Structure 1
Amino acid sequence: MGLRHSAPCWSDAAEPEGEKDVDPDVLPPSPLHASDGSIDCAKLQMLETIGHDAHGRVDRALYKSKPVTVRTINNVPRPTYLASMRKAYSLRSPYTVAVHGIIDANPDRPKIVTEWVDGYRLSQYLAYRSAGRPTGLNPSTLDIALAVAMGLDMIHEHGLVHGQLHPNKIYVTSNEEIKLSDFGGSLYHEDPTFSRMYFEGEPYYWAPELYEDYRNETPAADMYAFGVILCYLDTGVPPFGPDDRCRNSLLLDIVDNALRPALRPNCPDWYRNLAHQCMAKDPIDRPSAADAVDLLIRHNGDVAFLDDGPFQPFYAPYPWLRKSR
């Protein structure tokens, strides 16, 4: 993938005069990216609904004859959500799904127009890889880990928190780019009426402090989720395996007894240490995204992660299976 790290940057409405060096880690404004964040509704053609989640509906559409995704938002505090999305809108990075603009005509149901991503969710890609199903793509474990860390670094430097990082919010595109989606949700928590519904769905990626107060969204909470993703990338198996019959007992062990997902027995020590540091119970003990980027760059040629045949998933004998008896 040819990833490299540079200082996080984002586009401004006004460009300074004179020539500028071209930075491959900073995207120029898209033709769909209006300087004021507005969307010309006359040029937006809705095509089909492709999904629903706790926050609303997701549609495929065309904007100025280009494919886009339109997310109609329900059940969130409108002012804080829009403030968050306007911040996300100004972030221009190859490691994040671009926010093209906001349609704010309906006060109760704002629409967010984002880049259309052609490819797989990371959860799909890893499931196919573990099953030996061809995808036509072959990003390495370290390529994916580094791109996710770089995306988080840029989000955090921009004053945002992803807030819901897990493999369904990460895309592997048809060009083998890795992009983070649906980031910036932490600003919801400025509104005391915000519902706990926000945290339903992927509890194994939540930092322990979120169980005490879901408003504890910080960059450190994102880094906990990143540590769990490192385990998933290494083993090819979702955290704690496919069986969640004892989820409540498992979650108690995660919060109270520091139970964490396993890694392969032959996982390199530096990678194992990074994952464990990211999943530290105390947020103060977790590295920053920039720290993770620097470490992953230093080890990007680690022969332990070179492809040497079909990927073999690792199923750990988790102790919680015995505790549930």
Structure 2
Amino acid sequence: MLRLLHRMGSSSSSTLIIVVVVLAVVVVLGVAGFFLYRRRMKNNGFYLSNTPDMVGVATPPSSNNTPARNRAGSRGRASSQQRPPTAGGRTPRSSIPNIFQLAGLSDHGKKMADAQPRRSSAQSTFPVAVDGHRSRSSIISSSVVQIPSDELNYTRKIAKGAFGEVWLALYGKDLVAVKKLITVEGTSVQDFVAELNLLASLSHRCILTLVGACWDEELTDIQIVMEYMDSGDLLSVLRKNPPSVLTWENGKATYCVQVCEAVYYLHSLQPALIHRDIKSRNILVDSQKGAKLSDFGESRERTVARTMTAGVGTARWVAPEIILGEDYSELADIYSLGVLLTELDTHQIPYQTLGLEESMIVQQVAVGKLRPKVSDTCPEIIRRLTHECLQYDPSLRPSAARVLQTLMASPLVRRPSISLAND
């Protein structure tokens, strides 16, 4: 009997020891696995954010057209970015409020910004690392060349807007235009960086070239450095030169072809990138380089609310389907091209002579009762092309390739070497 009890005691002790050892191993492995997981999360650049879409930074679809203008010394970083809402070349209805919703909706379906207290820069939703350290500059694309601000010699201010200003500066031996953000509140920094990242991904001779950017780690001072165009924007050029001086044959047709080249390039990307803000003020002109498309601040998302508050005349270039909050595609840009053609022909802002309020113009355009007109002396090919681009039904408008081919075949254009290749 004693021997049996002794054997049972030994067996119980052995079992207990085995159980304790197994539990200890499981605990050690669990702790090791947890710390390994934390280390991998941190090394891979994953951050905790207060918003589902991080900082709202949108980048265009990836393409093989990597800009060749990057200089040595750019810093490589992993970036947390989102693709713009242009997949398949179409923006969903839900992303845009129509004109009858302006009183209550904002870009993301929330109450409009003016109905809420403005968020200071300290409250903006930049990515935050797991250890609590803010890493704001990580949202800038690694393809952007960082330029030390002391290498820029500023000369004079050449433009100013509600949120930023543009300065003429000397960078090395080259004149450059420096776009500076002067209002750092709400999502202004995120939007500014989104435009910077977008410019860095585009490469075409008819699109304004990004030279680089200046920024600090906290993005309290950020500047976009671009090539300088010595004649200013197309709106100023048209105002300074009457139609009798700047004719279709001696410049305007070529400007139009160059803009169409840029639009064709954007629409050829996968998915198509819609500019959404094609107008004379966003086309820059140079005495040697001709015309280039610029200002991609609206190429990620466009709402009627933002259109109506973006400046006098901005809504006059917008397609009806955007005003109505309907689904739209790259053909919305074609409508804007049609409006631009009337501006090139008349040297006047669309509907300038009608004396209508902006809201009335938008309402009439939305229902197809109002279109800008060309002059009586407009060349027939421009008149016909304008009519096609301004069709109320988007499916009846020509593609950017069709518009470009039509212009290139015209005797108005004196530069037959232009091709449809994306370069």
Whether the TM-score (by the shorter chain) exceeds 0.5 is: yes
Residue 312 (structure 1) aligns with:
none
Aligned-partner residue type, residue 12 of structure 1: T
Does residue 231 (structure 1) correspond to residue 342 (structure 2)? The answer is: yes
Residue 290 of structure 1: aligned partner: 401
* C-alpha distance in 2 between matches for 1:85 and 1:284: 32
Offset of 1:277 from its aligned partner? 1.9
* Distance in structure 1 (CA, Å) of the matches to 2:283 and 2:72: 22
Q: Secondary structure at the match of 2:208?
A: coil
Higher alpha-carbon deviation: 48-57 or 103-112: 103-112
TM-fit CA distance, 1:151 = 1.5
Bigger radius of gyration, 1 or 2?
Answer: 2
Does 1:70 pair with 2:178? yes
Aligned counterparts of 2:392 and 2:221: Cα–Cα separation in 1: 37
Q: Does the 8 Å contact 1:10/1:92 carry over to 2?
A: no
Partner AA of 1:118 in structure 2: D
Task: Select the residue among 217, 241, 256 that pairs with 1:129.
Answer: 241
**Unaligned 5+ residue runs, structure 2?**
1-62, 75-141, 415-423
146, 150, 155: which one pairs with 1:47?
155
More displaced 10-residue stretch of structure 1: 116-125 or 28-37: 28-37
- The counterpart of 1:186, out of the listed 282, 299, 319, is 299
Task: Report if aligned partners of 2:257, 2:407 keep a CA contact under 8 Å in 1.
Answer: yes
Q: Aligned equivalents of 1:217 and 1:123: distance in 2?
A: 27
Partner of residue 37, structure 1 = 144
Q: In the alignment, which residue of structure 2 is the partner of 1:209?
A: 321
User: 1:5 maps to what in 2?
Assistant: none
Report the CA distance between 1:242 and its aligned residue: 4.4
Q: Please, which of 367, 379, 383 is the counterpart of residue 256 of structure 1?
A: 367
Q: Which residue of 2 aligns with 1:167?
A: 280
Please report how far the alpha carbon of residue 216 of structure 1 lies from its aligned counterpart in structure 2 after TM superposition.
Answer: 6.2
Cα distance in 2 for residues equivalent to 1:33 and 1:117? 26
- In 1, are the aligned partners of 2:69 and 2:211 still within 8 Å (CA)? no
Q: How many residues align?
A: 275
**Which one-letter code corresponds to 2:405 in the other structure?**
D
Deviation at 1:81, TM superposition (A): 4.8
Distance 1:49 1:248, change over 3 A: same
In structure 1, stretches of 5+ residues that fail to align are 1-8, 14-27, 307-325
1:60 to 168, 172, 184: 168
SS in 1 for 2:350: coil
The verdict on how the C-alpha distance between 1:49 and 1:10 changes in structure 2, with shifts beyond 3 A counting, is farther
Number of the residue aligned with 2:127: none
- The residue type paired with residue 51 of structure 1 is A
Deviations 1:132-167 (A, max 9, x none): 6x78x9843321211111111123324432222111
- In 1, are the aligned partners of 2:232 and 2:284 still within 8 Å (CA)? yes
Shift of 1:131: 7.2
% identity of equivalent residues: 24
**Aligned residue type for 1:152:** V
Deviation at 1:196, TM superposition (A): 5.6
Preserved contact between residue 58 and residue 71 of structure 1 (Cα < 8 Å): yes
Whether the 8 Å CA contact 2:158–2:168 is kept in 1: the answer is yes
C-alpha distance 156-69 of structure 1, shift in aligned 2 (>3 A): same
After superposition, give the CA deviation of every residue in 1:213-254 in whole Å (9 maximum; x if it has no partner). Answer: 3x9674222211110111122233322234534443333222
C-alpha displacement of 1:88:
1.9
Q: 1:89 aligns with which of 200, 213, 216?
A: 200
Native 8 Å contact 1:97 1:114 kept in 2 = yes
> Which residue of 2 is the match for residue 152 of structure 1?
263
Secondary structure of the residue that 1:130 maps to in structure 2?
coil
Aligned counterparts of 2:354 and 2:235: Cα–Cα separation in 1:
16
Q: Does 1:112 align with 2:200?
A: no
Asked if 1:99 corresponds to 2:210, the answer is yes
Q: Is the 8 A contact 2:261 2:404 kept in 1?
A: yes
Change (3 A) 1:39 1:30: closer
The match for 1:12 among 66, 70, 75 is: 66
Q: Deviation per CA, 1:41-67, whole angstroms, max 9, x where unpaired?
A: 142233333322133222222223422
- Could you tell me the TM-score, scaled by structure 1's length? 0.71
